[in-house]
Amino acid sequence: MVVCLPQEIVDQVIDHLHTNLISLRACTLVHTSWLSSSSLHLFRCIRWPPCPYLWDDLAQGSVEQCRCPRKGNSSWTEELMQLFTTSRDIGRYVQEFHLSLGGYWQLHPQRAHPTIRDNGRLHWKDLLKIVDAMPLLKHLNIRALRFRPASPDDQPSRTISRSLQGLSLNSPLRHLDLGSLGHFLRSFDQIKNLVIDDFRSPGPLAHYTPGPVPSVDSVTIVHALGNASPYFRAIQHNFDCGSIRFLFLVDIPFGDPEFVALEDIFRESPNLATIISDSTPYDIFLRVSFPCPGLREFRTFGYCMFNGSGISFTSWDNIWAVFASPMMSNVDSLSIKFSMGKIDNEDPVAMPDDAELEIVQVLRLLDWTLVNRAASRLRHFSLHLELDVASRFWTSDQNACVARVKTIVEDQVTSRVRDALELVVELAL
């Protein structure tokens, strides 16, 4: 006699196998009632081309070891189209799709940056057909963007509603691809989280395409080289800046082109509520002469170096200068992750209590009056102190040292700041 388990129990059992692909494949062959739940996990995330050397970051330097018979062949693109046209059931399970339109990254020993081995290109409408074949798709990651050039007659279509939770674009772009990129982006109504990562464009990234633009809630820009202004122009031309609420800037260089382009983004983003800045020069904010009306939260990273006798470098003053700038006039929530590092003075004999004494000294040398002046505006103040004292000795308990650091900080600020303060102390040992 065959015992039929309730479908809820079957689904619960299969859910526990979500990381075991071999078992999931076996489950698809047990019974038709097991097929749907197993396929949901098997095809939840698809990476194309299906080569581990392409998607495993740790294997990037070993791409030449790949033995895929079609490496460098445009058949990857053809097979991708065939996959979603002949196996339509697969698409309805996909929630996360990673696609390399340009092919394989090749690391050249005499070049600082990887080149692309072409695996064929897609027309932007073909890529849109693939997206439409995945009705549950939430996250789309496109690496090495290489579309076929768009013709003058191509126009984006919004005959059906399309939206994404996340879109990540990582690529060296060519100028001829930009029109296709604009058409593809404008085929969506909403892209909640946009990540533009490591573009190396020989031409201007901004490319105007007529028609309505999608809304975007969060924008992250990660920059590596050269002029960053095309990044901002691409956002300005292809998205509704008025819908941006979060802006995360990572390693953005500072210059007049970047400032002018970013300033235009700020002007067109009245709903911008949060800016997160990591390794971005403070001058890019200090030069903005107008307030951002919706901006309420600023998160940043800073550090100072101490050499045993005092502070040799600190960004503490710059952080508070940005907070006091016209652009940040409406900000009432500030988060700072501040690293304090020890410069080794090559002293062969370290005093047993040296580390703790130096930390105490540096904390008292920081200008805490800057914090107290901002007290009237601060509704929430998060300060995460990361203390790098790995080369020193400790005689007291480390927990006691953390408590002492917190006491020193609280003694330096007013009661108004203490009421808003969320203090975290971390020892980097």
Residue 395 burial class via C-beta count within 10 angstroms: exposed 0-12, middle 13-18, buried 19 and up: exposed
- Are 229 and 235 contacting, i.e. CB atoms less than 8 angstroms apart? no
The pLDDT of residue 246 is 95
Residue percentage of the chain with pLDDT more than 70: 73
Contact yes or no for 296/259 (Cβ under 8 A): no
Q: What span, in angstroms and rounded, lies between the C-alpha atoms of 282 and 315?
A: 9
Furthest-apart CA pair in the chain: how many Å? Answer: 83
Q: What is the pLDDT of residue 16?
A: 77
Go through the chain and tell me how many residues it has. Answer: 429
Q: What is the pLDDT of residue 217?
A: 94
pLDDT at 61 over 60: no
Is it the case that residue 383 has pLDDT exceeding 70?
yes
Q: Which pLDDT score is estimated for 297? A: 94
| Cα–Cα separations (whole angstroms), residue 179 to 105, 123, 184, 187, 428 | 24, 11, 9, 13, 48
Query: What is the reported pLDDT for 204?
Result: 46
**Residues in a beta bridge with 115:** 106
310 pLDDT above the threshold of 60? yes
pLDDT at 175 over 70: no
pLDDT on residue 300: 93
Q: Is the pLDDT of residue 418 over 60?
A: yes
Cβ-contact 420, 383 below 8 angstroms: no
